[in-house]
Amino acid sequence: MAASQPWEEDLAPFQLYGKLWHIGGKHSPSYLFDTGDGLLLLDTGLPKCGYFIFRNIYELGFNPRDVRWILHSHGHYDHIGMTRALVEMNGARTYIGAPDRDFVNGKLELPRGKFSGCSFDETFEPDVLIHGGDVLTFGALKIRCESAPGHTPGTMAFFFDLEENGVVRHAGMHGGVGINSMRSGFLRQFGLPIECRQQFLDGVERLKDEPVEVVVGNHLGTYDALEKVRRRQENPDGPNPFVDPTEWKRFLARRAELVRDLMQQDPV
pLDDT in tens, 128-181: 999 999 999 999 999 999 999 999 999 999 999 999 999 999 999 999 999 999
Contact indicator for 2, 25 with CB cutoff of 8 Å: yes
Q: How far apart are the first and last CA of the chain?
A: 28
- Could you tell me which residue, 267 or 261, shows the higher pLDDT? 261
What CATH number should be reported for the domain whose range is 6-265? 3.60.15.10
Element housing 173 (H / E) = strand 167-174
Whether 140 contacts 184, CB under 8 Å: no
Quickly state the pLDDT bin for 1 (edges 50, 70, 90).
very low
Percent of the chain with pLDDT over 90: 82
Packing angle between helix 196-207 and helix 247-265, nearest 10 degrees?
Answer: 160
d(CA 214, CA 253): 16
From CA 251, how far away is CA 258, in angstroms rounded?
A: 11
Which residues contact residue 164 at a Cβ distance below 8 angstroms, ignoring those fewer than 6 apart?
17, 18
Which residues are within 8 A (CB) of 195 and not within 5 positions of it... i.e. 6 or more apart? none
Confidence band (pLDDT; 50, 70, 90) for 116? low
CA distances in angstroms from 251 to 30, 67, 213, listed in the order given: 20, 30, 12
| Number of CB atoms found within 10 A of residue 177's CB | 27
Sheet holding 156-164, edge to edge: 135-138, 141-147, 156-164, 167-174, 214-215
Q: Model confidence over 45-79: pLDDT tens digits?
A: 988 788 889 999 999 999 999 999 999 999 998 89
